[in-house]
Amino acid sequence: MSVITTDAPTAQLTRQDRCDRCGAQAYVRATLATAGGAELLFCGHHFRAHESKLLSAGAVVLDERHLIDA
């Protein structure tokens, strides 16, 4: 299980994408195959809090945390 980082323009998150937990800017998208491809968006803080469970569930993760403060 690995975190996928991509800079593909069609996959990037935008400033309008918000964390599903707190409403902060989202830097991570987790796609859950077991939930019919449902997507969850997370800020860096909330992704760290849920990262191990998401990865163990087989989520495909787009991680753009490297853009924080960029």
Asked if the structure places residue 13 within a domain, the reply is no
Q: In a 3-state reduction of DSSP, which class is residue 23?
A: coil
Beta strands in the chain (DSSP E): 28-32, 38-42, 60-63
% of the chain beyond a pLDDT of 70: 86
Number of domains the chain is built from: 1
Asked if the structure places residue 39 within a domain, the reply is yes
32-44 pLDDT, tens digit each: 988 888 999 999 9
Q: What is the mean pLDDT of residues 7-24?
A: 83
Asked if the structure places residue 16 within a domain, the reply is no
What pLDDT score was predicted for residue 35?
81
Asked if the structure places residue 34 within a domain, the reply is yes
Q: Are 3 and 63 in contact (CB under 8 A)?
A: yes
Asked if the structure places residue 40 within a domain, the reply is yes
The order of strands in the sheet holding 28-32 is 38-42, 28-32, 60-63
Asked if the structure places residue 12 within a domain, the reply is no
Q: Which domain holds residue 55?
A: 26-65
What pLDDT score was predicted for residue 33?
84
